[in-house]
Amino acid sequence: MKKIIISLLILTFSAQLLVAQNLRRANQLFEKRAYVDAAELFLNEKDKTQEVIEKLGDCYYFNSQMKDAVVWYQEAVKNNEIEPIYLHRYAQALKGTNNFTEADKWLTKYQERNQGVTSAKIGTLNYFESLNKEIERPYIIHKTSLN
């Protein structure tokens, strides 16, 4: 009976050590900017802490995989104690998925948290429209056949 208990304790301890090494390796890869490999290891974490969720969002954000970044940043911003930089990255990721209205909401929240005051809000879509009004000949892209 003692051998079984000791075996179970050793097995549990080694599993916890393996998980800690996995997280340590993921953090090392993240610091080296090997975001694809780091994301794989972070995804394998069973207990996804706030730090792991934020780093997963960063891994996808820095690799321009905005759809995946939105998923993880959305999870991260549920926590009200998040740093303002993640609000900004979330808004930029939303813009990368053409969700401009939602992005403007999060940029406003970022400005409120980061500066304490909201600056004049123009909105992304309004900005695009104002640019088109200012340009004398707006650029129109036409599809052409290639030879």
Query: What residues make up the domain containing 81?
Result: 25-134
89 HSE (CA, 13 A, CB side): 29
Alpha-carbon gap, residue 147 to 135, rounded angstroms: 32
Contact 98, 70 (CB under 8 A): no
**Residue 6, amino acid:** I
Give how many domains the chain has, as a whole number: 1
Contact 54, 76 (CB under 8 A): yes
- Residue 32 resides in a domain: yes
- Residue 42 resides in a domain: yes
Domain holding 37: CATH number?
A: 1.25.40.10
Enter the pTM of the model.
Answer: 0.70
Block residue for tokens 């939303």: 94
- Residue 145 resides in a domain: no
For each of the chain's 147 residues, which pLDDT tens digit applies? 776 766 555 555 444 544 457 889 989 988 999 999 999 999 988 888 899 999 999 999 999 999 999 999 999 998 778 888 898 899 999 999 999 899 989 988 888 887 654 444 567 777 777 767 767 766 677 778 876
